[in-house]
Chain A
Amino acid sequence: MPGLSGRMSTVIKAKISKMLDRAEDPGETLDYGYQKQTELLQNVKKGIADVVTSKKRLQMQSTKLEQQVVKLDTQARQALAQGREDLARTALERKSLAQTELQSLDTQIKELEAQQEQLTANEQRLRQKIEQFRTKKEVIKAQYSAAEAQVRISEAANGVGEEMADLGLAMQRAEDKTETMRARASAVEELEQAGAFDDITALGSGGDDIDRQLAELTSGAQVDDELAKMKSELGSGGGDAPALEQGEEKA
């Protein structure tokens, strides 16, 4: 089959034949298979551990951002109650940015979870196939002439080889993905360090630049809408305006 899937087959088949070439007797493929499996298993374990680490890091960021969203929302309301629309707007801009980051983090956490499940399932399948190959090899040897046994063992070895090549591919993709997530996590950390998600009580002399950038990053219309909504809510409520809460110390 030419085209997309054809190329895929070619790549995997090339890997298998390379693997089988190393064993002179297809029966030896079993030994090579075990050796390869051990290597793969170590890689898979490391791969899964990497995925879990990246996932935890993103989950921590996600929790932190969720807290900031709540805090900024409260501060926007308080600022508005005190007639500080400028501060309220800043808080809402920060909230909007934090929410956008949150959505993207959550999507990635889900992707990493799927990745982890897939790798685990692949690894188990390969383990079973190799075990099956070991049994089958002996059965074939006992039932067929040497020449025919060779052919049948080759066929079975190709089946196992394909499974291994496939796990190899899955590993590689998992690594690439984890790499992307790490870059993503670092980018969020940089934003955090730049104070992009800080609460507005942390606004100091250096706040202006961040504010300008934030205003560019966040959707102005969305912030306007939210501000208008908050105003109408406050207008109907009335009562004494609470003092602007001090933000917690930055972590």
Chain B
Amino acid sequence: MIVRIAGEGQFKLPDGDADRLNELDNRAVSAVEQGDETGFRELWSQMLEIVSSDGNAVDTDELVESDVILPPRDITFQEARGEFTGDGLIPD
């Protein structure tokens, strides 16, 4: 699977990581909903850790779409909340 970290580029990960990422992602979502910033930070760094430990950077000459796009590494809790208001990080 191809994962992009916004602002950093794309990484190729084993397909098996999708489930792990998905599980962390779901937990991160509920942490944000509950206003649990510490919990969110912890889950978010685990997600980033999976990408950096299992992922290989996609070559610049490869033009592929990502399966998953993760927010910027330094996403603030405020921005993470914004993700759930429907505005998204890039309001039009």
Q: Could you tell me which A residues sit within 8 Å of B by CB distance?
A: 1-12, 15, 118, 122, 125, 128-129, 132-133, 136, 155-160, 162, 165-166, 168-170, 172-173
Tell me if B60 and A11 are in contact (CB < 8 A): no
User: Beyond A136-B63, A160-B63, is A169–B68 a contact (Cβ under 8 Å)?
Assistant: no
B83 located at the interface, meaning its Cβ lies under 8 Å from any Cβ of chain A in the complex: yes
Q: Which residue of the partner chain A has the closest CB to B28? A: A4
Tell me if A1 and B66 are in contact (CB < 8 A): no
Tell me if B83 and A155 are in contact (CB < 8 A): no
Chain B 63-92 interface 0/1 with A at a Cβ cutoff of 8 Å (1 = within): 111111111100000001001100011100
B25 located at the interface, meaning its Cβ lies under 8 Å from any Cβ of chain A in the complex: yes
Q: Which of B33-88 contact A (CB under 8 A)?
A: 60-72, 80, 83-84, 88
Select which of B60, B66, B89 is within 8 A of A162 by beta carbon.
Answer: B66
Q: Which residue of the partner chain A has the closest CB to B7? A: A170
Q: Could you list some 30 contacts between A and B, CB below 8 A?
A: A1-B18, A2-B29, A4-B25, A4-B28, A4-B70, A4-B80, A7-B83, A7-B84, A7-B88, A11-B88, A11-B90, A12-B69, A15-B90, A128-B60, A129-B63, A132-B60, A132-B61, A136-B63, A155-B63, A155-B65, A159-B64, A159-B65, A162-B66, A166-B4, A166-B69, A169-B6, A169-B89, A169-B90, A170-B72, A172-B90
Residues of A within 8 A of B14 (CB): none
A110 to chain B, nearest CB (A): 12
Q: How far is the CA of A129 from the CA of B60 in the complex (A)?
A: 6
Q: How far is the CA of A162 from the CA of B67 in the complex (A)?
A: 11
Q: Could you tell me which B residues sit within 8 Å of A by CB distance?
A: 4, 6-9, 18, 21-22, 25-26, 28-29, 32, 60-72, 80, 83-84, 88-90
Tell me if B69 and A5 are in contact (CB < 8 A): yes
A23 to chain B, nearest CB (A): 16
Q: How far is the CA of A165 from the CA of B7 in the complex (A)?
A: 10
Q: Which residue of the partner chain B has the closest CB to A122? A: B7
Q: How far is the CA of A129 from the CA of B61 in the complex (A)?
A: 6
Q: How far is the CA of A173 from the CA of B7 in the complex (A)?
A: 10
B6 to chain A, nearest CB (A): 6
Tell me if A4 and B6 are in contact (CB < 8 A): no
Tell me if B62 and A159 are in contact (CB < 8 A): yes
Residues of B within 8 A of A118 (CB): 7-8
A42 to chain B, nearest CB (A): 19
Q: Which residue of the partner chain B has the closest CB to A133? A: B63
Tell me if A5 and B68 are in contact (CB < 8 A): yes
Residues of A within 8 A of B66 (CB): 9, 162
B40 to chain A, nearest CB (A): 9
